[in-house]
Amino acid sequence: MSETHARLGERDLFEDLEARSYLAHCAVAPLSRPVRAAVERALGDYGRLGLGAVGPWVEERGRLRTRLARLIGAGRPEDVALTGGTTAGIVALAQCLPWRPGDAIVLLRGEFPTNVTPWLQAARQHGLDVRWLEAEDFRPGGPGLERLESTLREGAVRLVAVSAVQFQSGLAMPLAAMADLAHAHGALLFVDAIQAAGVTPIDVRTTGIDLLACGGHKWLGALEGAGFLYAAPQHVDTLMPNVAGWLSHEDPLGFLFGGPGLLRYDRPIRARIDFVEGGSSSSVGFAALSAAVELVEELGVEAIARHVAAFHERVAPALVALGFVDGRTPEPEGRSGILSFRPPPDLDLSAVRLGLAERGVVVTAPDGWLRIGPHWCTPLAEAELVTAAVHEVCALLRA
Ligand SMILES: Cc1ncc(COP(=O)(O)O)c(C=O)c1O
């Protein structure tokens, strides 16, 4: 479906992208030409056909599920449900897991709030015990895994919730080891994959991930408001359909198209994770996501990861020379698409970010970190203009 081929290090599918260097893929993706074309096709169909556009775009959702299942190493498309984003997926799980009073959940300090708030709401609602660990303790060689194990040994833990990649430092979490520990103590591993999917390889089955939620507007290159949820098949039956809606039933549309007498409220709720797709949702958003994932597949996540790491290598030394502290782990397994730095004490981070923006270099600066998120479309040669801009801004601020 792509209009043109994507090539690593080429930004020609982003012809009107204003930034001289766009390094905020870890925040919000700019839309590529094939993704925009898919959105325009969907809009055109709905404009011309109204109801007649629904069928073809529902079929496209089927292709999207297949692509997403491949992307994360899920066995089957039916293990994937489409959602409005990461939060929507987590809220659905928090509402539907069969909590018992006295159950405990493990959350991590430092996580993006998406992966905390819905769990805390479930904790309030169901009387769950919340046990906190520190995300940064999970650096290779750090005390995180040991602390997780002793927390699990206390008993009653039903779920460990973690982001595949920490949004601030870019730390890639040791998911396989966390899954092994969780399983050894009868708990599930939930993963927020939005900072990994599309730039860092994920394989839910070899890693042992039980549940995963993701949004499409960062490294997948799609629009806000469209994402997905994965549940390993053995867990689907255990979920309570507390977020079910009219489209969650078996044969939910028969009464609309099949003649009189088919309107019923007792059709079973689907015993598949897509029961969370309870009502009408954004065809345009999923059209964008489908084209975006197709493009990521075309390039290959492994190749994207290597390209992004090569860009990191080209800019990191210049920042370190200026006194920034590189947040990456020396070990490659702790690294991700995000290159983050702690600023030197004499530099105001907001001023650095603004100075870079004035020079056409778009970065983000959440919670005290300078965050650089290049992607497959970032030319390696852009590293030079980025480092030159950083030098200029720091020299001005220090003058
Ligand atoms: C780790 C992480 N999870 C989730 C989100 C966003 O969640 P949602 O897709 O619900 O907006 C972000 C960033 O916005 C994030 O960095």
Per-residue pLDDT tens digits for 29-73? 999 999 999 999 999 999 999 999 999 999 999 999 999 999 999
Number of the ligand 1 atom closest to the C-alpha atom of 163: 1
Considering the domain boundaries, does residue 5 fall inside one? no
Would the CB of 114 count as within 6 Å of ligand 1?
yes
Beta strand ranges found along the chain (DSSP E): 21-22, 80-83, 104-109, 129-134, 157-163, 188-192, 211-215, 227-231, 325-326, 339-342, 361-362, 370-372
pLDDT number for residue 4: 64
Would the CB of 324 count as within 6 Å of ligand 1?
no
User: How confident is the model over 146-173, as a mean pLDDT?
Assistant: 98
Q: Measure 366 CA to ligand 1 centroid, in angstroms.
A: 13
Considering the domain boundaries, does residue 389 fall inside one? yes
Pairwise CA distance, residues 269 & 56, whole Å:
24
Nearest residue (CA) to ligand 1, atom 13: 27
CB 99 within 8 A of CB 128: yes
Would the CB of 86 count as within 6 Å of ligand 1?
yes
The token duo for 118 is 């819905």
- Among candidate residues 274, 296, 318, the one where a domain is terminated: 296
Would the CB of 112 count as within 6 Å of ligand 1?
yes
Whether residues 52 and 130 fall in one domain: yes
Whether residues 225 and 274 fall in one domain: yes
pLDDT number for residue 5: 85
Whether residues 253 and 126 fall in one domain: yes
CB 346 within 8 A of CB 395: no
On the question of pLDDT at 205 being above 80, the answer is yes
State what percent of residues in the chain have pLDDT above 70.
99
- Substitution site in 26, 28, 86, 175 for ligand 1 pocket (most atoms within 8 Å of beta carbon): 86
Q: Measure 218 CA to ligand 1 centroid, in angstroms.
A: 9
> Which tens digits make up the pLDDT trace of 359-387?
999 999 999 999 999 999 999 999 999 99
User: How confident is the model over 179-203, as a mean pLDDT?
Assistant: 98
- Among candidate residues 296, 326, 350, the one where a domain is terminated: 296
How many domains, in total, are found in the chain?
2
pLDDT number for residue 259: 87
CA dihedral 96, 98, 102, 103 (to 10 degrees): -80
Whether residues 165 and 220 fall in one domain: yes
pLDDT number for residue 399: 93
pLDDT number for residue 165: 98
Whether residues 326 and 292 fall in one domain: no
Closest C-alpha to 79, from 211, 246, 247, 241: 211
Would the CB of 170 count as within 6 Å of ligand 1?
no
Would the CB of 336 count as within 6 Å of ligand 1?
no
Which residue is associated with the tokens 């809220």?
Answer: 91
CB 156 within 8 A of CB 189: no
Which residue is associated with the tokens 């359909």?
Answer: 241
Whether residues 140 and 242 fall in one domain: yes
On the question of pLDDT at 7 being above 50, the answer is yes
Whether residues 322 and 189 fall in one domain: no
Q: How far is CA 203 from the centre of its chain?
A: 14
Pairwise CA distance, residues 148 & 185, whole Å:
11
Whether residues 121 and 250 fall in one domain: yes
On the question of pLDDT at 142 being above 90, the answer is yes
- Among candidate residues 296, 326, 359, the one where a domain is terminated: 296
Considering the domain boundaries, does residue 11 fall inside one? no
Number of the ligand 1 atom closest to the C-alpha atom of 88: 10
Considering the domain boundaries, does residue 9 fall inside one? no
The token duo for 166 is 């920490």
Pairwise CA distance, residues 399 & 261, whole Å:
79
Considering the domain boundaries, does residue 8 fall inside one? no
Number of the ligand 1 atom closest to the C-alpha atom of 227: 9
Q: What CATH number is given to the structural domain containing 198? A: 3.40.640.10
CB 172 within 8 A of CB 164: yes
On the question of pLDDT at 18 being above 70, the answer is yes
pLDDT number for residue 2: 43
Would the CB of 85 count as within 6 Å of ligand 1?
yes
Pairwise CA distance, residues 349 & 343, whole Å:
7
pLDDT number for residue 99: 98
Would the CB of 277 count as within 6 Å of ligand 1?
no
Query: Which range marks the domain in which residue 306 is found?
Result: 21-26+300-398
Whether residues 285 and 311 fall in one domain: no
The token duo for 248 is 């969650």
Number of the ligand 1 atom closest to the C-alpha atom of 214: 9
User: How confident is the model over 78-88, as a mean pLDDT?
Assistant: 98
pLDDT number for residue 1: 43
On average, the pLDDT of the chain sits at 97
Whether residues 90 and 234 fall in one domain: yes
User: How confident is the model over 272-295, as a mean pLDDT?
Assistant: 98
Pairwise CA distance, residues 234 & 253, whole Å:
27
For the ranges 153-157, 231-235, 259-263, 342-346, which has the lowest average pLDDT? 259-263
Whether residues 305 and 356 fall in one domain: yes
Nearest residue (CA) to ligand 1, atom 5: 114
On the question of pLDDT at 25 being above 80, the answer is yes
On the question of pLDDT at 394 being above 80, the answer is yes
Nearest residue (CA) to ligand 1, atom 7: 86
